[in-house]
Amino acid sequence: MSNPIEYLISKGIDVTKEGNYKLKAQGFMDLTVEIWPQGKAMMVSMCHYGEQNGDLMKDPDILFIIKEDDIKYLEYQNDYAGYYSEDHQASKDFMEKTWIPNLIFQGHKQEMIPN
In the prediction, which pLDDT does 1 show?
61
Most confidently predicted of 72-76, 82-86, 110-114:
72-76
Spans of all domains in the chain: 4-107
Question: Judging by beta carbons within 10 Å of its beta carbon (0-12, 13-18, 19+), is residue 76 exposed, middle or buried?
Answer: buried
Number of H helices, E strands in the chain: 3, 7
pLDDT in tens, 8-23: 999 999 999 999 999 9
Kindly tell me if the per-residue pLDDT of 110 is higher than 90: no
Note the helical H segments in the chain.
Answer: 4-10, 88-93, 100-106
pLDDT at 51: 74
Is 32:48 a contact under the CB 8 Å cutoff? Answer: yes
- Averaged pLDDT for residues 20-32: 92
> How confident is residue 115, by pLDDT bands cut at 50, 70 and 90?
low
Q: Are strands 83-85 and 70-78 parallel, antiparallel or unpaired?
A: antiparallel
88, pLDDT greater than 60: yes
How many residues are there in the chain? 115
Q: How confident is the model over 42-65, as a mean pLDDT?
A: 86
Percent of the chain at pLDDT > 70 equals 96
pTM for this entry: 0.88
